[in-house]
Structure 1
């Protein structure tokens, strides 16, 4: 548990940076672009890198053996670069430099996101992974709350200050993780170096259950990513909020997610991941469907609190479910596949929902998101809740470790 809480620092810095990015970069783009669809498209350029890099890097990290471990080398390269380019984003001098810094930041983030996530199942037994995922997402939720809460106040002082804060936090998290997480490795010359079972291949991970789970993940991320990327525009242009009020309203969603992260992991472990996820999808469908009837800022924030609770039911249990249906040797690979699907959704969703807004108006944002959740529910009915035996235990049970 101590390792899990400390590993949560990595998720804290990632969530803080992404939340600031999604809240304020659309406002930077709005200075140059007037189409919501085009702004939504620009917000997805980074995900093209993530979609192709994360599966490959996750797969490569399964095979990496260095004195720093399997995953840590990717963190030591990607986190400093991500911190630098995140800090540079608000210092852009025009559309070209803004897009350049956006792309370089997200390219850097793609280098270490999948290895960071894969560290959790590496050091956690299968029976504890939903609870562990609740802990690290709790830490990530704190990052989002700080981004939307304190970040909105810092933004009022200067647009560069929240991003500078995120860069400093990311560098600090990297040094702490390097010091306290002593990754286990398998040496080529050791008899345990070659794990049991055939070599891990990406195509072998796409069985029927996994494909249905990935389909559900795609559709609920289409709903979530579109709302997150375009909510500040929805709040300012439809509800009549200021920039700060719109970004601060997302704090209520993130705070509810934060508070329910640990209970959601416990519920998934006790009653089953699929069952809790289905409750979350149905609940979030009802929440998003009701937003179109809300025109009060106070009531909207109450609804967002309820939505954050249901999103915790979905998000906390989905990654451990993906991991539980594969072998221990495939953790990095399946992590990469998970992020391939979520990145694909992030590419499709903002421009698609932005086009819907341009065509039908801002209320259509939450109607479209509700449709995405309904499609996700359909995929869940096709997925088996059974989990395959995961093979050996977490890698830190092996006798060779780096101290």
Structure 2
């Protein structure tokens, strides 16, 4: 379990970077772009890269053989580049330079996101992966809290400081991962198949009916989550009259509850089965999103976000181990990639579509649309049959 906490450093740095990006980049774009739909579209740049590159990179990492391992080379290239371009974002001189830095940072992130996530099942027995995912997402949640809470304070000092801090943290996390994690030594034997095993596990073979249904559910709950995350600061400022830092800080309540619920959600998924815990989270978050639509006070909003964060933990902690469990260990990187196809496709579609709804109605429609997405996720999930994990050699 010690190595699980160390692996969480990769997710910790990713979460800080994305939290700051989603909280403050819409505010930068709002200085140049008039329509919420356009801002929503520009906020999906990362997901276009994720949708097309991460399945390829995930499968490529399944086949990679180097002295650093099969996942670590992608971290060695992607993390320093992401740190550099992320630090440059607030130094834009106009819309063109802002979009250029956004594209370069997102391309760099796509190089190492799937391999970073795939390290956990590489080094964790199947029956412990849900619990381990809880630990890793706990680390990610701590990163989001630091980003939303500390970032909002640093942003008031100067808009560049939170991004610079995030870049420094990313480099420190990379150094620690390289020092403490030796992939070739620490990976489970069965997770290091020979080349013939990897070749037999074709990309097409991964698209089974249970996998497709689960991907449908993943698409719809990420459609809700990503739309809310990308447009929340604008919702807070334009609908509730909050300041920029109040809106960004409010997201810390959702992240705080996610952190609190991360490890318990993993333990519940192991004890009660992943599907049951995910369904409870989907139902609960549907109710919360619908309820937020009628809340008009800052206190009420933050209470709802606290409750919603717990339900999101039930969903998010168990979903990745769920989809990995539907395949073989020789295809962990590939299935990580197709997991990101669903989540990235949702993230591509959600902000612009929700932006169109906002332009047509007003910002009050945001959480009603999010509740509808969660309801559709529940319908898909009802038809997915969970498989018991096979025992893994010690």
TM-score class, shorter-chain normalisation, is: over 0.9
Instruction: Please name the residue that 1:103 is paired with.
Output: 103
User: In 1, distance between residues paired with 2:199 and 2:42?
Assistant: 41
Q: Which runs of 5+ in 2 are unaligned?
A: none
- Offset, 1:196: 5.2
Task: Give the C-alpha shift of residue 352 in structure 1.
Answer: 0.4
- SS at 1:309's partner residue? helix
Alpha-carbon RMSD across the aligned residues, in angstroms, is 1.5
**Residue 371 (str. 1) matches residue 372 (str. 2):** yes
Name the counterpart of 1:401.
none
The residue aligned with 1:265 is 266
User: What is the CA-CA distance between 1:46 and the residue it aligns to?
Assistant: 2.3
Question: Structure 1 CA distance, aligned partners of 2:199 and 2:82?
Answer: 35
Partner of 1:52: 52
Q: Distance in 2 between matches of 1:355 and 1:256?
A: 30
C-alpha contact 1:46 1:107 (8 A) present in aligned 2: yes
Q: Residues of 2 paired with 1:192 and 1:351: CA distance?
A: 41
Q: Quick one: structure 1 residues 302 and 323, their matched pair in 2 at CA, closer, same or farther if it must change by over 3 Å? A: same
Q: 1: CA distance between counterparts of 2:252 and 2:237?
A: 16
- How do residues 1-400 of structure 1 correspond to structure 2 at under 5 angstroms? 1-184=1-184, 193-194=194-195, 199-387=200-388, 389=390, 393=393
Q: Is the CA contact 2:74–2:111 (under 8 Å) kept in the aligned structure 1? A: yes
Superposed displacement of residue 193, structure 1 = 3.2
Measured against aligned partners, the alpha-carbon deviations of 1:8-57 in whole angstroms (never above 9, x if no partner) come to 01100000000000000000000000100000001012211111110000
Verify the 8 A CA contact 2:127 2:389 in the aligned structure 1.
no
Deviations 1:164-200 (A, max 9, x none): 00000000000100111111279xxxx9735658621
Structure 1 unaligned residues grouped into runs of 5+: 398-403
Residue aligned with 2:239, SS: helix
Query: Taking structure 1 as reference, are residues 197 and 36 closer, same or farther at Cα in structure 2, changes over 3 Å only?
Result: closer
In the TM superposition, structure 1's runs of 4+ consecutive aligned residues that sit over 6 Å from their partners are: none
CA distance in 1 between counterparts of 2:4 and 2:275 reads 23
Q: How many residues align?
A: 389
Distance 1:192 1:364 in 2: 49
Normalising by structure 1, report the TM-score. Answer: 0.94
Q: Deviations over 1:259-308 (max 9, x none)?
A: 11000000000000000000000000000000111001001100000000
Q: Contact 1:195–1:329 at 8 Å: present in 2 too? A: no
Question: Structure 1 residue 341: deviation in Å?
Answer: 1.1
Residues 127 and 390, structure 2, Cα contact 8 Å, conserved in 1: no
**Contact 2:63–2:198 at 8 Å: present in 1 too?**
no
